[in-house]
Chains A and B, each alone.
Chain A
Amino acid sequence: MSKISKELKELVLWKIDEIPPHHKLSIGSKGVFTKEDLRDHVEREDEIGVMYAEMQLNFLRALAKGDVSKILAQ
């Protein structure tokens, strides 16, 4: 069974494409990841991939619910 829905995976991969090639993400003790690394992890749906997709989903939910703008306006 897939750990990331098809729709979310497509969206996350599309967002990863936008990341500049010289940027890397430090995720604590898990390591430092280039956009290609992140893409691979999301494709494989492993721990890092699922974690990254969940972060993206949480952020999109917060944007959609207006939580981000609410907090920024406070």
Chain B
Amino acid sequence: MTILITNPNYDDTTGYLYYYTKKLLKFIELKGIKHIEVKRPKLRRGEVENYIIKNKPSLILLNGHGDDKTVYGDRINGVEEPIIEEGKNHLLLQGKLVYARSCWAARSLGKKCTYDGGCFIGYDVPFQFWVDERMSIPPKDKTAELFLEPSNLLAKTLIKGNSAIEAVRKSREKSKENIMSLLKKKKEPGTMSKIMVLWNNMQGQKILGDINMRYSS
């Protein structure tokens, strides 16, 4: 079964998501799993809809900006294009296992997508992370890694065929591990702000629908 992954890269935030998604893609390729990476110039609503309809991916990993009712794809002429929108094409996600690494999408979109089957993992808060601007590229940024590795672990756990709830559990464990390691150096400036953001992402992560759903390759 195919995995579909959207991978925008047009600003600082999506630049970091792009790097972490590339790490996931390497993992998928090593496992020899059939997958579709949708990125510029194909990261358009129509293309994504066609990929879902034609390939029937059972696992969909959405990366990019989002809000209560929308997950966005690329930025076209300065405007972000919705690729999945509640009330317009959200039924494409019904019955699928979906992880949206996007702000707020679990608030409403995720609920609508899982109304009649499927599982949606996402956030009902803005997904946030600190970056260290002394590191000009994501691979060197150990600060950003604290926030993005738990989300990559979630996706990896799903790809390995574990249940959605197990993937969420592992991601939370990783976040807790990062909080514990930060607590050991809590006198360093900014440490509590990092813990606060890890806590925000952890508490805001929601699993909706069939929590026992799993991907099988």
Q: Does B72 contact A (CB under 8 A)?
A: yes
Report the separation of the CA atoms of residues A34 and B134 in the bound assembly, to the nearest whole angstrom: 13
Q: Does B41 contact A (CB under 8 A)?
A: no
Is B196 a contact of A26 with CB atoms below 8 Å? Answer: no
Interface segment, B20-28, B91-99, B125-133? B125-133
Most buried by B among A15, A23, A58, A72: A23
Interface size class on chain B is: 35 or more
Residue on B with the closest CB to A16?
B193
Is B133 a contact of A24 with CB atoms below 8 Å? Answer: yes
Is A28 a contact of B199 with CB atoms below 8 Å? Answer: no
Q: Does A8 contact B (CB under 8 A)?
A: no
Shortest CB distance A49–B (Å): 14
Our count of residue pairs bridging A and B at CB distance below 8 angstroms stands at 87
**Which B residues touch A19, using CB under 8 A?**
189-190, 193
Q: Does B57 contact A (CB under 8 A)?
A: no
**Which A residues touch B132, using CB under 8 A?**
22-23
Report the separation of the CA atoms of residues A19 and B131 in the bound assembly, to the nearest whole angstrom: 12
Interface of B is mostly: mixed
Report the separation of the CA atoms of residues A43 and B139 in the bound assembly, to the nearest whole angstrom: 34
Is B192 a contact of A28 with CB atoms below 8 Å? Answer: no
Could you say which of B65, B80, B189, B199 contacts A59, with CB atoms under 8 Å apart?
A: B199
Shortest CB distance A60–B (Å): 9
**Which A residues touch B128, using CB under 8 A?**
25-28, 55
Residue on A with the closest CB to B191?
A18
Is B103 a contact of A25 with CB atoms below 8 Å? Answer: no
Q: Which of B173-208 contact A (CB under 8 A)?
A: 176, 179-180, 189-190, 192-193, 195-197, 199-200, 202-203
**Which A residues touch B189, using CB under 8 A?**
18-20
Shortest CB distance A50–B (Å): 12
Q: Which of B108-134 contact A (CB under 8 A)?
A: 125-134
Q: Taking beta carbons and an 8 Å cutoff, which residues of B are in contact with A?
A: 11-13, 16, 65-67, 72, 80, 102-104, 125-134, 143, 176, 179-180, 189-190, 192-193, 195-197, 199-200, 202-203
Q: Which 5 A-B pairs have the closest CB atoms?
A: A28-B103, A29-B65, A59-B196, A28-B126, A32-B12
